[in-house]
Amino acid sequence: MQFEPFIRKLETVESLTDAEKRAAIALCNDVRVTPRRKDIISQGASPDRVHIILSGWAARYSIVRDGSRRITAFLLPGDFCDIHGTVLATMDHSILAITDCEVAHVPADLIEEITRSTPVLTRALWRSTLIDEAILRQWLVNAGRMDALKTVGHLLCEMHARMKLIGLVEDGRLDLPMTQEELGDATGLTSVHVNRTLRDLRQQGLLTLGRGELHIPDVPALAKACEFDPQYLHLRGRTSQGML
């Protein structure tokens, strides 16, 4: 069902009663589809609503003057796109649909209302914002202080962990629909070097990636090779072991 990942995501952040779950789902009256390669929201916009990904993959990105792009986050089902735009005046970056995405459009005042009436959801919002920030910090560490192999492997471990949280991993396999160019923009590498790096990881037997599917046969092995420690994801009540 289309709200399943959204609820699972919220539950990884705060435990919810059935009433609270219903309140969360009630936010999603207005669901629209953004097709692949279109912006869900663009830089400079001043949205009066919040977007929640219900299905599909999206990415935050900024364009620099020479035309190159930097992806600063991947958004999965259940993720909030842009509380920024409502609390701050304007979006300082854009959000792109990597696949076709079902997106809930939630009026900002509805968010305000529900946070007043349901403190748990306020707390959930806080927590997921802070976790997003922690992920951002980790990306910064990877970009500045790790080589290409570890950076790429680390990112794939992270996607595995986050997809597992929302129930979208089966037996080490998960959808990973982005191009190598997009992986490059997310790691600060070029698509050419991402390709070589993936070849090395494949040759070491650590993973296979093709046709939009990632397979990690031995997650702890990859995690070890890439110094992946899921602590920064702040998984509630799960041992790190469980995620590896």
C-beta neighbour count of 130 within 10 angstroms: 12
- Does residue 205 interact with DNA by CB under 7 A? no
Residues sharing a CB contact under 8 Å with residue 170, sequence separation 6 or more, in sequence order: none
Size of the site for DNA (CB under 7 A): 18
- Does residue 117 interact with DNA by CB under 7 A? no
Q: Helix, strand or coil for residue 143?
A: helix
HEC string of 189-228?
CCHHHHHHHHHHHHHCCCCEEECCEEECCCHHHHHHHCCC
The backbone torsions φ and ψ at residue 218, rounded to the nearest 5 degrees and listed phi first, read -135, 90
Which of a copy of itself, DNA, none does residue 196 bind (CB under 5 to 8 Å by kind)? DNA
Strand partners for 62? 70
C-beta neighbour count of 229 within 10 angstroms: 14
- Does residue 210 interact with DNA by CB under 7 A? yes
We find the least distance from the C-beta atom of residue 87 to a copy of itself, in angstroms, to be 5
Residue among 54 and 152 whose Cβ is closer to a copy of itself: 152
- Does residue 99 interact with DNA by CB under 7 A? no
- Does residue 88 interact with DNA by CB under 7 A? no
Q: Are residues 77 and 166 in contact, defined by beta-carbon separation less than 8 angstroms?
A: yes
- Does residue 192 interact with DNA by CB under 7 A? yes
Structure tokens at 100: 């076709």
Distance CA 119, CA 115 (A): 6
We find the least distance from the C-beta atom of residue 213 to a copy of itself, in angstroms, to be 26
Which of a copy of itself, DNA, none does residue 22 bind (CB under 5 to 8 Å by kind)? none
Residue among 31 and 110 whose Cβ is closer to a copy of itself: 110
Listing DSSP states for 2-28 in one string gives: TTHHHHHHHHHHS---HHHHHHHHHTT
Which of a copy of itself, DNA, none does residue 118 bind (CB under 5 to 8 Å by kind)? none
Residues sharing a CB contact under 8 Å with residue 107, sequence separation 6 or more, in sequence order: 48, 49
Indicate which single residue of 83, 120, 141, 149 sits in contact with DNA (rule: CB under 7 A). 149
Only one of the segments 73-81, 163-171, 174-182, 232-240 lies at the binding site for DNA (rule: CB under 7 A); that segment is 174-182
Q: Which residues in this chain contact a copy of itself in the complex, by CB under 8 A?
A: 60, 62, 64-65, 68-70, 72, 83-84, 87-90, 92-93, 123, 126-127, 129-134, 136-137, 139-141, 143-146, 187-188, 227, 231-232, 234
Eight-class DSSP state of 71? E
Only one of the segments 104-112, 164-172, 193-201, 220-228 lies at the binding site for DNA (rule: CB under 7 A); that segment is 193-201
Note the residues at the interface with DNA (CB under 7 A): 147-149, 179-181, 188-193, 195-196, 198-199, 210-211
